[in-house]
Amino acid sequence: MTESGQKFKIFKFLKIVISSLLIAALLLFTIASIRTLSLDVNVGLQLARWEKTNNLSLVIDHHQREELLANFKEAIRIRTVSFSEKKSNTTALIQFDRLLRKVFPTVFFSSLVHHELVANYSHLFWVQGSQHDLVPYLLLAHIDVVPASEADGWEAPPFSAQEIDGFIYGRGTIDDKSPVMGILQALEYLLKKGYAPRRGFYIGLGHDEEVSGFKGALNIVRIMKQRGVQLSFVLDEGLAVLDGVISGLQGPAALIGISEKGSATVKLSVSMVPGHSSMPPRETTIGILAAAVKRLEDNPMPRLFGHGPERETFEHLAQKFGLPMKFMMSNLWLFAPLLGRILERKPDTNAFVRTTTAVTMFNAGVKVNIIPSLAEAYVNLRIHSAQSLKEVLDLIQSTVGDQRVKIELVDGFDPLPVSSADEKSFGFQIIKKTVLDMFPTVTVAPGICIGNTDSRHFKDLTNDIYRFAPIWFKPGDAQRFHGINERISKKNYEELVVFYFSLIQNCDIQKLPEPHSSVHEL
Ligand SMILES: N[C@@H](Cc1ccccc1)C(=O)O
Ligand SMILES: CCCCCC(=O)O
Ligand SMILES: [Zn+2]
Ligand SMILES: [Zn+2]
């Protein structure tokens, strides 16, 4: 072959190689832009700036992981105890404010974030979104904790944040400082990475949730109402990931609270003329009140299992039970009464069955040789969604059945409205997606929050209030709530940070995809 013939052949070969490379490059670019476009539609702009990820270790290094745990421990050590509506540890609340400013500088100095103190010790953050037509949401948590005494049997001092077997022990580790610190830590990392939300959102941190929220949360609501704020949804503390807690349930279940029980705190009192204990009446004030309290405990409120949002919970979870429970849960129309009798056997599942009655305080007597002039007891009830506050008070009246016992309602409210949880429910689906992205084996179901939260104050600002944090509860862990040895594993705390880290990004979605697609494709 002549030299020119060879050159021509080489030229032709090169031409083919270059054009195929160009076609391949074009093809790759097209695929990548379709994927980015589709993901962009689903998860917002930040992909353009940096890859969205659920994996914290892709975002932070080992040193930062140590740092986030140190920040959390420091928060636990500050004794932000609420004793009563009138008595809080304000020094600790001020210390806590200083801690937040110290460990989350990017949050406090970002031009995207507006921070204000509310009622001196609560915090309201507004994180501006680039797309003003997207309705904002609220992440809610509380700084205050209930009292704790090491003498009650703690394995580690309740404000030490001591590590034992990978768990951080302390009051507030689950209720509610892990969400407080988890939300802000997630935002700190997002802002540091150059993330800017499309959908604006609020972060509310109340300082008196454990004693009603009338100063913190209620003032945050007042400010929001003054500014005409409407919310897409609220996510507050509440239910969790239950793993082995509901007997017979195969695998962990993330229950997202779509309502919460009502509450009533009732004061019972008996008074009579005091006297010398050497000449006692047949019954003293203590005896009369004790008998009344005993009648309340011996006559629990009626079983209402299946008449509230718990119905949806068990219908969602039915497939995760073995027979016969699966059959029974799929036919609650027939088996609800029987299931109620099964679930009422344990305190944490009895709370799904009825209005619960807890005698929590009993005070009487001043001296061993004086007939007590006054005996007082407080009863705390959490009202099932199918009952009203008035019905409960009437039942207490009839059960006590003794004119000598004075009955007073200290504070109370009806069960809360039920939030949406269908495939069109933005907040529910975003929370569900975020949970499933992190814990693919978990079953997500709507649930009734058996305790009460600050979120109830926000019911005029949104129809959709959810009570959930991805805190992992094994059997017995529910007793740590307001109990002894409250704790969270280091791993679970990091998961909380990732959860909020992902949730904030997932909320940038313009709108939910059509219902036919699985939640995972959001
Ligand atoms: N969250 C606490 C305190 C509280 C009680 C009642 C109403 C509101 C808040 C609880 O559920 O016990
Ligand atoms: C049990 C779920 C909510 C409890 C709220 C609290 O005790 O702070
Ligand atoms: Zn609490
Ligand atoms: Zn709480």
The per-residue pLDDT for range 253-290, each reduced to its tens digit, is 999 999 999 999 999 999 999 999 999 999 999 999 99
State the average pLDDT over residues 94-122: 98
Q: Which residues approach ligand 1 with their CB closer than 6 A?
A: 209-210, 212, 263, 451-453
Residue of 207, 221, 263, 383 to test ligand 1 pocket, by largest number of atoms within 8 Å of CB? 263
Residue 391 appears among annotated catalytic residues: no
* Residue 50: per-residue pLDDT: 31
| Catalytic site residue from 97, 144, 176, 188 | 144
Instruction: Give the ligand 1 atom nearest the CA of 451.
Output: 11
CA distances to 70, 267, 401, 519 from 406, rounded to whole Å, are: 50, 8, 10, 53
State the average pLDDT over residues 176-180: 98
d(CA 94, CA 65): 26
* Lowest mean pLDDT segment, chosen from 64-73, 196-205, 463-472: 64-73
State the average pLDDT over residues 26-36: 47
* Residue 49: per-residue pLDDT: 31
262-271/234-242 β-pairing: unpaired
Tens digits of residue pLDDT in 345-388: 989 889 999 999 999 999 999 999 999 999 999 999 999 999 99
Closest Cα to atom 5, ligand 1: which residue? 452
Residue of 171, 360, 452, 466 to test ligand 2 pocket, by largest number of atoms within 8 Å of CB? 452
Alpha-carbon Rg of the chain, whole angstroms? 28
pLDDT band at 32 (very low <50, low <70, confident <90, very high): very low
* pLDDT, mean over the chain: 91
d(CA 159, CA 173): 10
Q: How far away, in angstroms, is 213 Cα from ligand 4 center?
A: 11
Residue 3 appears among annotated catalytic residues: no
pLDDT band at 9 (very low <50, low <70, confident <90, very high): confident
State the average pLDDT over residues 295-324: 94
* Residue 39: per-residue pLDDT: 30
pTM over 0.90, yes/no: no
Q: How far away, in angstroms, is 275 Cα from ligand 1 center?
A: 39
Distance of CA 27 to the CA centre of its chain: 45
Percentage with pLDDT > 70 across the chain: 91
Neighbours of 77 (CB within 10 A): 16
Q: How far away, in angstroms, is 145 Cα from ligand 4 center?
A: 7
Q: How far away, in angstroms, is 202 Cα from ligand 3 center?
A: 22
- All residues at 6 or more sequence positions from 333 whose CB lies less than 8 Å from its CB, including other chains: none
* Residue 20: per-residue pLDDT: 72
Closest Cα to atom 4, ligand 2: which residue? 451
Global ipTM:
0.97
